[in-house]
Chain A
């Protein structure tokens, strides 16, 4: 334990309510709550507390509250408490400070500075409860022109069509690998995707063989720098393939799944020995250029007989628009952009908090660039990072996304409280852990239902907002920035986003 740190949280126990049931003691994976039988008293080791709120929620008498610790250093705008604590940790260990989940710093969240339009007088709004409203989304390359011939009074499409996937709602679960999250959490995502007619993403940890027949048609399988569990059967079992170049939470760096997390079933899924670190190099070593990327895209298409769309996922970085153009020209059917606030199971804090650009700006820039070059139809855009609610989804679509990836939101639906300790493998909610005692806390039936509910709730809200704008298909909103206005943004921001200021 660290010697010079202030506790981050204070655990307050109302003695008049505590019935010494010791549920908190059993539930806390960090050993915060301790029972002394001689004194018949519960004690708290606050320095271990990560603020996950598991105990507070479980406590049957609501005796517990966990709050930020009131202890403070002298006020200093430059030396914030976080900086103090992290520096002290490094002084003690010489290590790289790790963190989990997405960037929590106060970079501008553009969703909160964009507002949507609605119909008033000049065109009627639509009530989705009584009129058809289409959220169906097709992901993949579209033809340049659509040639239709009539044969015996029946229309026939003559143009060559590319493989596309049909989604019931433009929301896809983003990449979370089996290994980073527990089998139950992983399977909940798969089941919810199947039930809701959308996709889940295996991340780069492989797709367990026993899940392939049932969930393959809803799976996006990744081919990343570690190439874990990648073989022809894995690729062919999926609906879509994704080459992972980068991740919003840690652009430019690889990943280390610690050996402790590589249990037997994870080892066989990733095809590496049990207990060894699963190291993902920073780049894919067969991709050092757009030409090399093209080589892997077509290698994947060859391996799957040109039957599946191939996505390329990149982190949003400075030249993302030019990079996206290169990706499309390299032959990708989908470009996935992961922004500054994208989540992770583990990343160096310095990278997570300082590298990359906000997805909203990247998305608008990519959409504009591809339109300007006349190649927007050649790919679908999947936008990832920081999507918190249905209005974020609809704003992303108006900025040019075909669909969005949600990761953190899905985890929160399953129980996550963003304590940011994913990398410790001690998730009290049974999501981001492989500890057999902890994983049992996640009931797969219940978490599947929660995810299905989330998608259905968001989908209803999206329909309501579309109807309000007088639009009856999400297709008509895609890239339609006339339906957005900016508030409190500077001119360069409005220009990059391609939206007018409110009132204009």
Chain B
């Protein structure tokens, strides 16, 4: 740092004081194909350096202990050889968990913060807890399962192309702007923690939606939906999709799919693939 930096307090909170991976070997315990990393005293970049180096040593299962807000877990792992890694996170994953994730599997045994699966490409994230805002934002592939609630703007601008369709399953309920700007993908909102007759709380559901589908268990008023969304009953194909992913959800979180599938689902669809095609004077 030069003198001016001191004077004006320039700090790089992210990179300052980051140690080299060689200095961090004490935090990794390897046992065959499995490695355990203690995140207690590690910075964001340090833990990701260690995950990358560990994965390079052909270790396919990494357990992270004492995680507390560490960001970008799994992001730096490449998938050029198509070999995926399984990461178990205890307890609290930080922001942007698995942002740009490419094919790897992440289990979080605790809650996750903002941006779970942000712009994720493929792979799977399972959160045994709740997730904060913008979960699955701009997700383009892979699957995300959240056991409990999600925050604001979940599934915003998810997209799909041909057979690359992202899936987001949420066990609890969601906050406002759920599925905003959705351009593709499948989202299932189960509302399992809602009491009998209790409505979902989100407003502006699917505002600006122009692709994809939301399957919603439980009730919403029309006034909670964005202008660009319509409600339809499920057809046979929809039911198969819901059944498939609810069963997957239940296998992750040990619950009974039969009970969930017995209740009524609604299908939310965009009314147009071009919601703003007519607002301009040419």
Contact = CB atoms under 8 A, between A and B. Distances in A.
A295 B211 contact: no
B181 A258 contact: no
B31 interface: no
Contacts of B280: 95-98, 423
Contacts of A95: 278-282
Given A89-B281, A93-B281, A277-B276, A271 B5 contact: no
A111 to B, nearest CB: 31
Interface in B107-150: 114-115, 118-119, 121, 134, 137-138, 140
Interface stretch (B96-104, B168-176, B233-241): B96-104
B114 to A, nearest CB: 7
B2 A144 contact: yes
A378 interface: yes
B138 A295 contact: no
Nearest to A94: B281
Interface residues of A, number: 50
A95 B161 CA distance: 31
Contact of A256 (B71, B115, B137, B276): B276
Given A276-B210, A285-B156, A295-B95, A232 B121 contact: yes
Nearest to B73: A302
Given A98-B281, A374-B8, A424-B282, A295 B96 contact: yes
A235 B102 CA distance: 12
Nearest to B77: A232
B10 A378 contact: yes
Nearest to A297: B14
B121 A423 contact: no
B121 A285 contact: no
A276 B2 contact: no
A259 B276 CA distance: 10
Nearest to B7: A374
Contacts of A272: 159-161, 183-184, 211
Contacts of B1: 144
Given A89-B281, A302-B75, A331-B12, A273 B160 contact: yes
A303 B137 contact: no
Given A89-B281, A285-B153, A271 B159 contact: yes
Nearest to A226: B157
Contact of A286 (B12, B118, B211, B282): B118
A267 B161 contact: yes
Given A145-B2, A231-B100, A375-B5, A286 B281 contact: no
A298 B162 CA distance: 31
Given A96-B280, A303-B75, A373-B8, A273 B184 contact: yes
A194 interface: no
A57 B12 CA distance: 56
B76 interface: yes
A305 B76 contact: yes
B274 A276 contact: yes
Q: Among the interface residues A226, A286, A294, A424, which one has the most CB atoms of the partner chain B within 10 A?
A: A286
From DSSP, what is the main secondary structure of chain B's interface residues? Answer: loop
Interface residues of B, number: 61
Interface string B1-41: 11111011010111100000000000000000000000000
Interface string A360-392: 000000000000011100100000000000000
Contacts of B71: 295, 298-299
Interface in B255-282: 273-282
B134 A279 contact: no
Interface in A319-333: 329, 331
B44 A258 contact: no
A93 B279 CA distance: 9
B192 to A, nearest CB: 26
A259 B273 contact: yes
B78 A232 contact: yes
A279 B99 contact: no
B102 A277 contact: no
B48 A302 contact: yes
B14 A227 contact: no
Contacts of A98: 280-282
A263 interface: no
B141 to A, nearest CB: 9
A299 B72 contact: yes
A375 B9 CA distance: 10
Given A272-B159, A272-B183, A231 B10 contact: no
Nearest to A97: B281
Nearest to A329: B10
A476 interface: no
A268 interface: yes
A90 interface: yes
Nearest to B276: A256
A281 interface: yes
5 contacts: A231-B100, A273-B273, A279-B157, A331-B14, A331-B15
Interface of A: 89-90, 92-98, 144-145, 225-228, 230-232, 235, 256, 258-259, 267-268, 271-273, 275-279, 281, 285-286, 294-295, 298-299, 302-303, 305, 329, 331, 373-375, 378, 423-424
Given A256-B276, A299-B71, 5 more contacts: A225-B157, A227-B159, A295-B115, A298-B44, A378-B10
